[in-house]
Chain A
Amino acid sequence: MKLLVLLAILLLIIAGHQLLRIIELSRGLKKTKEWELTNSDNNTMGKGMLIFMFAFFAFFFWQVVRWKDRALPESASEHGFKIDWLWDVNMNFIVIPVFLITNFFLFWFAYKYRGNTNNKATFFAHSNKLEMLWTIIPAVALAFIIIFGLKYWNEIMDDAKDPNKITIELYAKQFDWSARYTGKDGKLGTTDYRQISGGNSVGLDTNDVLCNDDIIVKDEFHIPIGREIELLMRSRDVIHSAYLPHFRAQMNCVPGLVTAFKFKPVKTTEEMRKDPYVIQMMKGINDQRAKFGKEPVLFDYLLLCNKICGASHYGMQMNIVVESEKDYNAWLAKQATFKKVASK
């Protein structure tokens, strides 16, 4: 087999060599040099630029329309609506128009002023007015972006101040997540990475009594709708990133540090499953899964790892269930405390 491939390559090279000789010989007969530009070259390439522009824009709009049910659904957290609004304003009024208009001028001029031996270019070296114009316009647009961006950023990244907040610690390690709840005392116990062991996977300080009623869960964690959730994050080994795309939330988990992000969920998992957009999106997912021969699935909120952390980075995720406060309390009551698990 390998011999055949080699033989085929060898034959191709010989054929190519012969072809080249023919081309070289025939080129010798022509008077003009191959590399010299002709009006026809400029004409073809100039038109090519215009055709490309149409194709490029068509491709762009085709993607927008065709993949309109692929983007993340509407935000499921309160602050996420601000992000989505700002995103839409930026995209629809600045990014996409600038992309289309400047590319249009570029390709239009490339077409319109394609070279011809009869033409002469206009000597036009600078214009303070024009340059002023396109310094000031971007500056004004950017001022808008900066002002709104920073306003929202400061609100989103502010400390969690809601007295009614629920604090949950996300703990990352290669390659899974756990979530720790405060338990009845409302406080997370202190930690000590030297005490990590099979029965103490997140490294709680067993000398601290506050740890006893802490609840640690894996694979899935629950949060109630409408309450401010303060996520504190730690990592056992390398940098991970807690990415909760549906809630427009993300923060790195850094060994040696505790990082934080707060959000308020506004839609339960059940509500999301009934959302028309989500139904449409899930249909796309399940159609593809049918092609793979896999089971259909329902929508679930996910926590993903979004910082390269090793071989199984791609498989590091955890389900999130958003539910009513009543269901949440019932679920939490069923979870074993740290002390109970440790004493087993």
Chain B
Amino acid sequence: MGTKHTATLEHEHATHHDHAHDHDEHHETFVSKYIFSMDHKMISRQFLITAVIMACVAMTMSVIFRMQLAWPGEKFAFVNALLGDKWAKDGILDPNMYLALVTIHGTIMVFMVLTGGLSGTFANLLIPYQIGARDMASGFLNMLSYWFFFASSAIMLASCFIEDGPASGGWTIYPPLSALPEAMPGSKLGMTMWLVSMAIFIVSSLLGGLNYIITVINLRTKGMKMTRMPLTVWAFLITAILGVLSFPVLFSCALLLIFDRSMGTSFYLSDIYIGGRPLDNVGGSPILFEHLFWFLGHPEVYIVLLPALGITSEVISTMARKPIFGYRAMIGSMLAIGFLSFIVWGHHMYMTGMNPFLGSVFVFTTLLIAIPSAVKAFNYITTLWKGNVQYTPAMLFSIGLVSSFISGGVTGIILADSALDINVHDTYFVVAHFHIVMGLSAIFGMFAGVYHWFPKMFLRMMNKKLGYLHFWITFIAAYGVFFPQHFLGLAGVPRRYYTNSNFPMFDNLVDINEICTVFAIIGALGQLVFLFNFFYSIFRGDKAPQNPWNSNTLEWTTPVANIHGNWPGKLPVVHRWAYDYSKPGQNEDFVPQTVPLADGEHDGGEH
């Protein structure tokens, strides 16, 4: 039972393929190996390094606007050095540039870092490795996926250097603000570039997503049943399905906005008087935009979060030396979260003028999501119970993720409740909520992944002590930045205010803003430790052994080398699930998936 599998054919096929590769190696040029590579491992590294660079840009932006919020009107030479006299005369940030920074920070973090970077890096690296495939189903589409991502990132960065500044209507780019060049300088060329960049990003995401789905469905090695797949692969699969179903809607949303901007249509515009004249557009509605946007926007939250949860599941189980608690419940929760994420988008719109009855439906569906989320959190905690927890930096970040997932998740209960949302909608309470639950959790998951799979990606080890230092600075600073923001929200501070000192109401909150900013600066400097460790270890880290963490999954059965086809010779055959850690009756505290079941031994957590 379970050993028969359709993958046998591909298995045979791939073995032939292998010989061809031995031949190929000699013809590889620099360009085909490092630039237009079709190898999933190289593409994964390309995604990661691009994302790291984009993350640095977005983080620097956040430091600049945090400094403006804590010390409005102060002069900072370094702000002037980065932004120039036009946007920061004498080192005082311009209000338009403030909004631009907030917008581009959000866009880069959500799309380039936590969607493209996180899924792109780890789905590419781990799907073929962990299901026992030679590569992605289509190496060519995979390569295109990266290069579209690169182009999209490049355009987004380039838009920061144009005369009117980049898009600055918030990362949600609600029209008419984003549709009318008269409304703000950022709605001129910057907005066009944002939309072009996003359209290209969607192409990248779809190419990648389709590839991930097809690979998982078709290319599993012999014995790798769906119910034996590591939770990482499940997470990437569900994420890819969400992306494929929701990104096209964002595309149509953006396309209609492009039409409104440049072709005089009125999908989102009606009854507008701006720039000293009434516009001809009538009959459209910005609420249509909001529906289309959030139909992607909410699944997007889980597109960001699920891969991080998948990575964490794997790391926590491996490092606690215990099977993940409730493997099937974890899959079920992810499927439930994935499904529900499509019917909750309206909770972003309680206060938009949407029919309040519609709001009621979304209250119900949104709060339902809390159930699978709670199951996941409790299962993580139970996995630690009676474990033998090994504190690698990856494990620290995974525990950090569970903590932020809880701390940020519980305030979601408040925000999902439309009656309570009335007074905190669009305030710093929301900022605190989503940064903790989505931002921190996802970035912690990403760090966990980098520390854990660095030996597979770069064949060297990262420095452990620097990893520890990086974790503690990041963890403390992250809560230090975002936890106090709940209190700003309770005081009624709206989001996206250039300064809170323009009128008296928020003057007593100056010190809270200062605390947030000081932690933000510490946290940002702490990332230098990571950057150093990362780039240093790529070149000079200790050489990695084959299976440094005594892990069960298939990627650790590959040799310590980046070879085409991943396994020299035949593909491994899978005999058991991925979580036989500390199984009674075994000599070691781990049993790789390739080890056959002994007589009378049960699979899948029974014993």
A interface, CB within 8 angstroms of B = 20, 24, 33-35, 37, 41-42, 45-46, 48-49, 52, 56, 59-60, 63, 67, 70-72, 80, 82-83, 86-87, 90-91, 94-96, 98-99, 102-103, 105-107, 109-110, 113-116, 119-127, 130-131, 134-135, 138-139, 142, 145-146, 149-150, 152-154, 156-157, 174, 193-194, 196, 203, 236-239, 241, 243, 245-246, 248-252, 254-257, 259, 281, 284-289, 292, 294, 297, 302, 304-315, 317
Q: State whether B422 touches A257 (Cβ < 8 A).
A: no
B522 to A: closest C-beta gap in Å: 14
- Which A residues are CB-close (under 8 A) to B396? 45
Is B322 within 8 A of A124, CB to CB?
yes
CB-based contact B364/A241 at 8 Å: no
- Docked pose: A24 CA to B418 CA in angstroms: 58
**Contact partner of B378 among A134, A146, A150, CB < 8 A?**
A134
Pairs A-B, 8 closest by C-beta atoms: A125-B605, A256-B270, A245-B492, A45-B391, A157-B356, A284-B508, A314-B497, A259-B353
CA distance A127 to B323 in the complex (A): 12
* Shortest Cβ gap from A216 to chain B (Å): 16
Smallest CB gap from A137: residue in B: B374
Q: Is the interface of A mostly helix, strand, loop or mixed?
A: helix
A83 touches B286 (CB 8 A): no
User: Are A196 and B363 CB-contacts (below 8 A) given A102-B381, A257-B353?
Assistant: no
Q: Determine if A87 and B420 form an interchain contact, defined as CB atoms under 8 angstroms apart.
A: yes
The answer, yes or no, to whether B496 is at the interface (CB within 8 Å) is yes
A-B contact pairs, 15 of them (CB 8 A): A70-B490, A95-B410, A125-B325, A125-B326, A135-B371, A145-B413, A196-B278, A236-B274, A237-B272, A248-B423, A254-B287, A256-B284, A288-B508, A311-B99, A313-B99
Asked if A150 meets B363 with Cβ closer than 8 Å, knowing A34-B465, A115-B388, A308-B495, the reply is yes
Is residue B23 contacting chain A, with contact meaning CB distance below 8 A?
no
**Contact among A41, A49, A91, A120 with B399 in the assembled complex (CB-CB below 8 Å):** A49
Chain A min CB distance to B301 (Å) = 19
A140 to B498, CA, bound (A): 42
In the bound complex, what is the Cα–Cα distance between A48 and B607 (angstroms)?
A: 34
Q: Report whether B423 and A310 are in contact in the complex, using a CB–CB cutoff of 8 Å.
A: no
Whether the Cβ atoms of B490 and A72 lie closer than 8 Å is yes
Which residues from A are CB-within-8-Å of B363?
A: 146, 149-150, 153
* B18 close to chain A: CB less than 8 A: no
User: Quick one: which of B320, B425, B504 contacts A113, CB cutoff 8 A?
Assistant: B320
For chains A and B in complex, what number of residue pairs have CB atoms within 8 angstroms?
Answer: 367
Candidate in B269, B374, B499, B502 with the most chain A CB atoms within 10 angstroms: B374
On whether the beta carbons of B542 and A35 are closer than 8 Å, the reply is: yes
Chain B residues with CB under 8 A of A174? 183, 274
Alpha-carbon distance A248/B176, docked complex (angstroms) = 27
On whether A248 and B174 interact (CB within 8 A), knowing A146-B363, A257-B287, the answer reads: no
Give the most central of A86, A109, A154, A194: most B CB within 10 Å. A109
Interface assignment of B259: CB less than 8 Å from any CB of chain A: no
Please, which residues of chain B bring their CB within 8 A of the CB of A288? 507-508, 510
Closest approach, in angstroms, between the C-beta of A235 and any C-beta of chain B? 9
Q: Does B169 contact A (CB under 8 A)?
A: yes
| Contact in complex: A121, B270 (CB < 8 Å) | no
Q: Contact: A125 with B579, CB < 8 Å?
A: yes
Would you give the shortest CB distance from A319 to chain B, in whole angstroms? 9
Cβ–Cβ < 8 Å partners of A127 in chain B: 325-326
Question: Contact partner of A203 among B180, B273, B427, CB < 8 A?
Answer: B273
A83 and B385 within 8 A (CB) = no
Question: B425–A255 contact, CB under 8 A?
Answer: no
Asked if B548 is an interface residue, CB under 8 A from chain A, the answer is yes
Interchain CA distance A252-B483 in the complex, whole Å: 27
- Report which of B323, B381, B419, B508 forms a contact with A156, defined as CB distance below 8 A: B419
Instruction: Please state if B422 and A156 are interface contacts (CB–CB under 8 Å).
Output: yes
Do B484 and A63 touch across chains, with their CB atoms under 8 A apart? yes
Contact A110 B508 (CB under 8 A): no
Please, which residues of chain A bring their CB within 8 A of the CB of B418? 149-150, 153
| B512 with A70: CB separation less than 8 A | yes
- Residue pair B391, A238 in contact (C-beta under 8 Å): no
B123 CB, min distance to chain A CBs, angstroms: 25
* Inter-chain contact B579/A130, CB cutoff 8 Å: no
Interface contact B95-A237, CB-CB below 8 Å? no
Are A313 and B390 closer than 8 Å at their CB atoms? no
**Which A residues lie within 8 Å of B605 (CB)?**
125-126
Known: A72-B490, A134-B374, A243-B426. 20 other contacts (CB 8 A): A34-B461, A70-B490, A90-B414, A90-B420, A99-B407, A109-B384, A113-B386, A115-B391, A120-B321, A131-B379, A142-B413, A153-B360, A237-B180, A239-B176, A243-B494, A245-B492, A246-B492, A250-B423, A250-B425, A257-B287
In the assembled complex, the Cα of A80 lies from the Cα of B402 at a distance in Å of 34
Contact of B15 with A by CB under 8 A: no
The answer for the CA separation of A2 and B238 in the assembled complex, in Å, is 51
A142 to B367 Cα, complex, angstroms = 7
Find chain A residues with CB under 8 A from B476 CB.
52
- If A153-B363, A243-B426, A255-B176 touch, does A102 touch B406 (CB 8 Å cutoff)? yes
Residue B3 is within 8 A (CB to CB) of chain A in the complex: no
Chain B, residue nearest A27 (CB): B542
Q: Are B382 and A103 in contact (CB under 8 A)?
A: no
Interface status of B570 (Cβ within 8 A of chain A): no
CB of B170 closer than 8 Å to a CB of A: yes
Bound-state CA distance A257–B494 (Å) is 23
With a CB–CB cut-off of 8 A, which chain B residues contact A281?
508
A181 to B218, CA, bound (A): 67
Tell me the smallest distance from the CB of A60 to a CB of chain B, in Å: 7
B417 interface residue per 8 A CB criterion: yes
Q: Determine whether the beta carbon of B494 is less than 8 Å from that of A305.
A: yes
Q: How far apart are the CA atoms of A272 and B395 in the complex, in Å?
A: 51
Contact indicator B274/A237 (Cβ below 8 Å)? yes
Q: Which residues of B contact A254 (CB under 8 A)?
A: 285-287, 352-353
Known: A70-B509, A83-B419. A131 touches B403 (CB 8 A): no
**Distance A250 CA – B476 CA, assembled complex (angstroms):** 34
Closest to A87 in B: B420
The distance in angstroms between the C-alpha atoms of A215 and B396, with both chains bound, is 63
User: In the complex where A71-B487, A297-B504 touch, is A109 in contact with B96 (Cβ < 8 A)?
Assistant: no
Say if the beta carbon of B196 comes within 8 Å of chain A: no
Contact A306 B508 (CB under 8 A): no
Query: In the complex, are the beta carbons of B329 and A238 less than 8 A apart?
Result: no
Docked CA distance A126–B419 (Å):
38
Task: Say whether A109 contacts B479, CB under 8 Å.
Answer: no
Q: A266 to B58: give the CA distance in the assembly, Å.
A: 45
Residues of A within 8 A of B285 (CB): 254, 256-257
Contact assessment for A41 and B95 in the assembled complex, using a CB-CB cutoff below 8 Å: no
Please tell me if the beta carbons of A153 and B494 are within 8 angstroms of each other in the complex: no
A279 to B422 CA separation, bound complex (whole angstroms): 25
Interface: B377 (CB within 8 A) = yes
CA distance A196 to B499 in the complex (A): 31
Within 481-540 of B, Cβ neighbours of A (below 8 Å) are at: 483-484, 487, 490-492, 494-505, 507-510, 512, 536, 540
Which residues of chain B from 89 to 133 have any CB-CB distance to chain A below 8 Å in the complex? Answer: 95-96, 99
Instruction: Establish whether residues A193 and B271, one from each chain, have CB atoms under 8 Å apart when the complex forms.
Output: yes
Residues of B within 8 A of A307 (CB): 174, 426
Q: Check if B360 sits within 8 Å of A154, measured CB to CB.
A: yes
Contacts of B403 in A (CB 8 A): 103, 106-107
- With A109-B385, A125-B579 known as contacts, the answer to whether A95 contacts B414 (CB < 8 A) is yes
Interface centre among A35, A113, A139, A292 (most CB of B within 10 A): A35
From the candidates A24, A252, A256, name the one contacting B271 in the complex (CB within 8 A). A256
Flag the segment in B229-237, B553-561, B582-590 that touches A: B582-590
CA distance in complex: A209, B475 (Å)? 64
A109 in contact with B387 given A134-B374, A255-B270 (CB within 8 Å): yes
Q: Which residues in A have their C-beta under 8 angstroms from that of B271?
A: 193, 255-256
Nearest chain A CB to B58 CB, angstrom units? 18
What is the bound-complex CA distance between A192 and B483, given in angstroms? 46
User: In the complex the two chains form, is B353's CB within 8 Å of A157's CB?
Assistant: no
